[in-house]
Amino acid sequence: MIIEKDKVVLVNYQLKNKEGVLLSATGEEGPLGYIHGIGMMIPGFESALDGKSSGEQLEFTVSPTDGYGDRDDQLVQSMPKSNFDNTEHLEVGAQFEITAPDGVALATILSIDEDTVQFDLNHPLAGIVLHFSVEVKLVRDATS
């Protein structure tokens, strides 16, 4: 069976940046499962797997445009530290949810000073060229 819209797909994968640093991978929890063609995965990932079948192994690169988008420097913002309830638990790299004009967004703390917290609303993988190694484990029809 080939991968096409509305098929259930199980894959093992490794995701690396251009320097070869491992960013994410399937592991002991087993393959990643998703329904193809409904937006569960980034467009470049789905495009690369279109037409593939169980047992295939492939390597491909996804540009930021077909991944998590380009970085937008306007999404780096600051907020008074006093807006946070638990300031003693704030740390660089921590993430928190913030209400944005188009819903809830995930923010990553970049820096903390005496009065201000600087954070980034870009996806952590925005602006990064993504290098995938994928093994298709299973392709099947979706069931209710």
> 5-14 pLDDT, tens per residue?
999 999 999 9
Whether the predicted pLDDT of 103 surpasses 90: no
Average pLDDT of the residues in 101-121: 91
Q: Hey, which residues does 136 pair with through a beta bridge?
A: 11
pTM, 2 dp? 0.83
pLDDT of residue 86: 80
56-77 pLDDT, tens digit per residue, is: 999 999 999 999 999 999 999 9
Burial of residue 89 (CB within 10 Å: 0-12, 13-18, 19+) is exposed
Res. 85 pLDDT band, cuts 50 70 90: confident
Strand runs labelled E in 3-129: 7-16, 22-25, 32-35, 57-62, 76-80, 95-100, 103-112, 116-120
The position carrying tokens 């894959």 is 11
Average pLDDT of the residues in 114-120: 94
14-59 pLDDT, tens digit per residue, is: 999 999 999 999 988 999 999 999 999 999 999 999 999 999 999 9
Q: How far apart are CA 91 and CA 3, in angstroms?
A: 42
> Within its chain, how far is the Cα of 109 from the centroid?
17
Counting residues of the chain whose pLDDT is more than 70, the rounded percentage is: 100
